[in-house]
Structure 1
Amino acid sequence: MIEVYVDGASAGNPGPSGAGVFIKADGNVIRASQPLGNLTNHEAEFEALIHALSICIDNEFQSISIRTDSQLVSSSVDNRYVKNRNYQPYLTHALALVDRFELCFIKWIPSSKNKVADELARKAIPLNTA
């Protein structure tokens, strides 16, 4: 099972944002930092998930276990529902990607267990162009 850690970060809410992805795959490691433009923190969290899912699809992974410190993202994917309509497009996109895997689990973890993805997300923030 491929372990996937995701995190989104924003310098302001909304503000310049970044996605961090850390993947442990069969002894290999993938690290990704992606600038996201101006988003809210929750939007950045969803975008980080979408970015991670895309990387996993590109690498033809079939079984993944995702860890996020965003309770909103974790519960939204688990329940396939989000109450706030502003996040519905993000959830719809993420679920379309999730459904392409043979197995895909998502689990909430505390921020203290998601430090690498958090560092990668924060590293992406200054990469946004003005």
Structure 2
Amino acid sequence: MIEVYIDGASAGNPGPSGAGIFIKGHGSADRYSLPLGIMSNHEAEFHAFIKALEICLENGYSVVSFRTDSELVNRAVEKEFAKNKNFAPLLEKALDLTKKFDLFFMKWIPSLENKMADELARLAIRKNKQEEN
């Protein structure tokens, strides 16, 4: 099974944002640090989730277990509902992607257990700022 750790971060709310994705399994580990542009922290969390799903599908992974420290994203996925209407289209896109896996799991974890994805998200924020210059 592939383990996928995700995190979204913003420097400001809204502000320059990034997605951190750490994927391990099959004896390897992949790290992604993706600038997302200007958005809120919660939007960045959803975008990190979507990007990670897309990467897993591109790599042909069929059984994935996601971990996030975002209670908002985890709860939205569990209930298949986003209270905030701005997040509904992002959740809908993510849920459509999850249906393409043979098995998809998501688990909330404390921030301390998500340090690699957090570091990658913060690096992506810096990449955002570099692209502005």
TM-score (norm 2): 0.96
Gaps of 5+ in 2: none
Aligned match of 1:107: 107
Which residue number corresponds to residue 84 of structure 1?
Answer: 84
Aligned pairs, number? 130
2:38 equivalent in structure 1: 38
User: Which consecutive aligned stretches of 4+ in structure 1 deviate over 3 angstroms post-superposition?
Assistant: none
1:48 and 1:93 map into 2 onto residues whose CA distance is 12
How far did 1:119 drift? 0.2
2: CA distance, partners of 1:104 / 1:31? 20
Cα deviations by residue, 1:9-33 (Å, 9 ceiling, x for unpaired):
0000000000000001211111000
Instruction: Tell me the equivalent position of 2:60.
Output: 60
**Secondary structure at the residue paired with 1:92?**
helix
Query: How far off is 1:126 after superposition?
Result: 1.7
**What is the aligned partner in structure 2 of residue 14 from structure 1?**
14
- Cα distance in 2 for partners of 1:84, 1:98 equals 20
Residues 79-114 of structure 1 show CA distances to partners (whole Å, capped at 9, x for unaligned) of 111111010111011011111001001010000000
Deviation at 1:127, TM superposition (A): 1.4
Report the equivalent of 1:4: 4
* Paired residue type of 1:92: E
SS in 2 for 1:3: strand
Which residue in the other structure is 2:71 paired with?
71
Q: Aligned with 1:86: secondary structure?
A: coil
Q: Which amino acid aligns with 1:106?
A: M
